[in-house]
Structure 1
Amino acid sequence: MAYPSPGAVPASPRSSNEGSDDEDDGEAMINVQRAELVRGHRPVVVSEVPVYVALEDRDGRRFEDKGSCKWVKYRWMRGPRIQPCFYHPHKMSTIRDVAKTWRHYCSRECFLRGWHTLPQHSWNPKPEENEAEDPIAQWTEVGNSRQYSPTQNDIERPLRLDIIPLTKSGKEAKGKMTITTGTVIPTPKEARMRQMISNGGTFNAEWLQKQFKVFNWNILADLYATENVYPYCEKWALSWNWRKHLIIKEVKSMGADIITLQEVQKDAFDEWFKPELAADGYDGLFQQKKRDPIFHRGKYTSEGCATFWRVSRFKRVEKAIFDYDRLSQQEVAHHVRDQKQEEKVNQRLSKGNIALAVILEDRHMKNRHGAGHQLCVVNTHILCDPAAADVKLWQSHLLIKSIQTTTRGNMPTLVCGDFNSTPDSAVYDYFRRGQVRENHEDLKKDPCGLIRQLTLQHNVALATAYETCTMKEASAIM
């Protein structure tokens, strides 16, 4: 026995409950042009099934419907139970052995493996004749809106979404389209709580009153969470509609006073992180990278850095944006006199990376004048290209200069971000020790000859959080 593959298909031209013979009601107000799952075929319990629906009105205008169009009807159906593969429980079976093992398998290879090697004590008993199932008849309506989040009752069952155009009088018209998903899987177990490392102090009320917690995380933008980059990961696990719930749960569980995130998409900030964290008492700012927006999921979007702070502890004083491309052009003009060489250097350095600096005032800790102590929180994402060590070091140099200009050396500073650098890199040496040794391997990769012209020294006293707490640096990526 083989099961049909998930996908979107138009319905037959006519059915008993579609359309109308009345001259005024027979024509649909809109046409369903396209309907598909946004990613993958495995719905997950509690996570909204991501679908894309494109409609066309009578004037020929095409648009994505997110559930607000009154001329279309949605109907979610739950299908018959389809057992998972015997060898791969996370995969939906497509084949059932109905002659020997009576087991379910996800592929021909698994079927042959079961047929030839599965011991008899692992076979399923042969069902009685009156237990035969009719999978076509076992579809039950479970929802009537565009959005649907599977429940426990949907596990191991496929879902089907019917998109039905309506006439002016609200009757069902011709042109229905359907989407069939893979079987629903249960919510995976959450990761165990991380073991937190603290730095000194006596854990009493007075000491705790002076402390604040900082949380930093590159959350991986949906733009980059593709099957090509992560072929070993199930499609449903890469879906933003799934990941965003786990991410916000992790962020909130930390109870941080300051949160710095990288690779946050503009739409994710506006529609998810800002309202979700505002409900927990946070305010926040977002700054996108200086790159052209990318067309993704039916719209143009971009990603960047987002910084949040607990309003009961801090209030925002001011912000600053460090645009590495603009700062590079200004500094390159002082070092390079040849116009062609200047264009070449700027082309190599212009990567669109930025840093977001926010100056916060502490509502708890006051100075002798009664005003709150101020703190500069910098959030950045250094270039990730492993073949561009010179660009990473250049951006680090610009970051330090910008911090010195912003704080004037008289303000505590937190430098958070994804530096895409290991403790043996020139970037780490520059941040941590204020200089880079002349024979460092990274300095040999300078195709434009620019790094050699820089004085790679600074007097900003920086310490890493990990080394401060453990007395030694981590061997993993910063």
Structure 2
Amino acid sequence: MLTSLKELYLFDNQLTTLPPQLGTLHQLQTLGIEGNPIEQSLKMIVQKDGTPALVSFLRDSCPIPGPPPDRQWKHLVGQAEREAMASDPSTETFSVLCYNILCERCATERLYGYTPSWALQWDYRKELILKEIVNHNSDFVCLQEVDNAQYEEYFQKALAGHGYEGVYWPKSRFKMMSESERRLVDGCAIFYKSSKYTLVEKHLIEFSAVAMQRQDFKKTDDMFNRVLGKDHIAVVALLESKETGTRFIIANTHLHWDPQFCDVKLVQVALLVEEVEKIAHNFARYPPRLPPASSSAVGSAHTPTAGENNASSRPPPVYTDGYKIPIIVCGDFNSVPESGVYEFLSTGSIPPDHEDFLSHVYGKYTSEGLRHRLGLKSAYASLGELPLTNYVPSFKGAIDYIWYSSANLSVNSVLGEVDPGYLEKVVGFPNAHFPSDHLCIVSEFRVRPPREPPQARPPPVFPESSRAHT
């Protein structure tokens, strides 16, 4: 679609009206319609307010096209195995939804000039967002770009009515703002089904604050000039299944957006993984929950403790280290599958002179490289990442992911792509059917006995001349 068209001349064509689909030409600055018997109301708009005003009028008056077909689930296990899991009480499954909802402050006509103004309004979009979340009925819901006011006034209350409780933090600049400004700061939220899971702890990871604590970063100019000015965060929830005692670590993040700062994204994701590893090992040291009280205790004066409500007949799991705990790391990573961020998360290591560091200096990261032992895989990787999770006229691609610890989790199914035929007729998101410029991604997992996590790939040996200068 010619959405970047700046000039269009339709002189002397005997046109009596203009199709409302011209409203998709959101960058059009000059429209020549002289010499046409076009209806007076359209002429008046151009004469009074110019071409952009006419484009906006056509865009907002355009009939709503038909909705796309429902996105289909893609299964990684066969029908027989799915039925067997459904009938086996020992099978433990859970689902995760990840969604950048496009906060109200960022949804401006300047950025989304192709979106009808009524479809850009928060009151319209929030209802569609909530409907999407509720329809999937996921156990864990990870949202990015949730502003402080909407978390407290809308999502927390609305999702409570569907059995969810939440964990939320706004971005770091929240601390330095007035009370009225704080309401508009966005952050990350994790919701969980409170009937099935107990929140044990919650953690905020402020990337700039964690970076400041590292001794190897203190003399790094690039850290001060490029990383510390960004206020991105991650939120981590430590949870336990009320039925089985299985522990879960759910991390939700939103990395920096600018493609010119791929080095900053690498640093942010490295800090995130290091903190998750520390949190996981601490969580593993917590004592297991007590088994359920025996039947002889029923009716006695004994009052069960919070740890004695395990409804499962099997004993709760014991975790010898953090790598045994099921881990989910999801969010808007603003990084395509070919990026260093994706490579690091999926392989466990990248060399110190990786091109995405852009020759900047970040302490041990650029002298020794990055490594982790979480054994992460993208939920969609086995079938191929989605063609897009973010769709605007200037970009179309996958940048949102659900990562999981492959040593103790397997993927059952993932929510598939948007119908390609529908996308061919769409300028970008948001629109009447998709309330954010991102798609939600959803995956169902099953917990399985843990195996030893893979060792991080040893750092490659490079000639001294090829290593990043430190």
Report the TM range for the smaller structure's normalisation.
0.5 to 0.7
- Cα separation, 2, equivalents of 1:86 and 1:188: 17
Superposed CA deviations along residues 5-43 of structure 1, whole A, max 9, x for unmatched, are xxxxxxxxxxxxxxxxxxxxxxxxxxxxxxxxxxxxxxx
- Give the equivalent residue in structure 1 for 2:267: 394
Among candidates 238, 250, 274, match of residue 120 of structure 2: 238
Displacement after TM superposition at 1:322 (Å): 1.0
Amino acid at match of 2:71: R
- Cα separation, 1, equivalents of 2:181 and 2:370: 45
CA shift in 2, pair 1:449/1:309, >3 Å? closer
- Give the equivalent residue in structure 2 for 1:282: 164
- Give the equivalent residue in structure 1 for 2:20: 88
Superposed CA deviations along residues 24-68 of structure 1, whole A, max 9, x for unmatched, are xxxxxxxxxxxxxxxxxxxxxxxxxxxxxxxxxxxxxxxxxxxxx
Among candidates 393, 398, 406, match of residue 477 of structure 1: 398
Among candidates 126, 149, 169, match of residue 267 of structure 1: 149
Which one has the bigger helix percentage? 2
Residues 351, 369 of structure 2: 8 Å contact kept: no
Residues 21, 62 of structure 2: 8 Å contact kept: no
Does 1:197 pair with 2:74? yes
Residues 213, 258 of structure 1: 8 Å contact kept: yes
- Give the equivalent residue in structure 2 for 1:373: 246
Structure 1 residues not aligned, in runs of 5+: 1-84, 92-99, 112-181, 367-371
- Structural mapping, 1:17-416, within 5 Å: 87-88=19-20, 105-108=41-44, 190-200=67-77, 202-204=81-83, 205-206=86-87, 210-292=92-174, 300-331=183-214, 333-336=215-218, 338=219, 341=220, 345-350=223-228, 351-364=230-243, 366=244, 372-408=245-281, 409=322, 410-416=324-330
3-state SS, counterpart of residue 212 of structure 1: strand
3-state SS, counterpart of residue 268 of structure 1: helix
- Cα separation, 2, equivalents of 1:212 and 1:360: 13
Name which of structure 1's ranges 258-267 and 439-448 shifts more when overlaid on structure 2: 439-448
CA shift in 2, pair 1:213/1:102, >3 Å? same
Among candidates 401, 422, 426, match of residue 336 of structure 2: 422
CA shift in 2, pair 1:107/1:273, >3 Å? farther
Structure 2 residues not aligned, in runs of 5+: 1-16, 24-35, 48-58, 282-321, 388-396, 400-470
- Cα separation, 2, equivalents of 1:346 and 1:90: 47
Residues 141, 191 of structure 2: 8 Å contact kept: yes
Residues 435, 458 of structure 1: 8 Å contact kept: yes
Q: Larger C-alpha radius of gyration, 1 or 2?
A: 1
Displacement after TM superposition at 1:186 (Å): 8.2
- Cα separation, 2, equivalents of 1:294 and 1:108: 45
- Cα separation, 1, equivalents of 2:164 and 2:63: 31
TM-score by length of structure 2 reads 0.58
- Matched positions, count: 305
Displacement after TM superposition at 1:268 (Å): 0.8
Does 1:446 pair with 2:323? no
Superposed CA deviations along residues 50-97 of structure 1, whole A, max 9, x for unmatched, are xxxxxxxxxxxxxxxxxxxxxxxxxxxxxxxxxxx7622898xxxxxx
Identity %: 30
CA shift in 2, pair 1:228/1:317, >3 Å? same
Residues 385, 398 of structure 2: 8 Å contact kept: no
- Cα separation, 2, equivalents of 1:297 and 1:404: 36
Among candidates 433, 438, 441, match of residue 347 of structure 2: 433
Does 1:464 pair with 2:337? no
CA shift in 2, pair 1:109/1:284, >3 Å? closer
TM-score by length of structure 1 reads 0.57
Displacement after TM superposition at 1:454 (Å): 4.6
Residues 257, 309 of structure 1: 8 Å contact kept: yes
Amino acid at match of 1:200: V
- Cα separation, 2, equivalents of 1:455 and 1:101: 68
Amino acid at match of 1:312: S
Amino acid at match of 1:206: S
Q: CA RMSD in A?
A: 3.4
Displacement after TM superposition at 1:251 (Å): 1.1
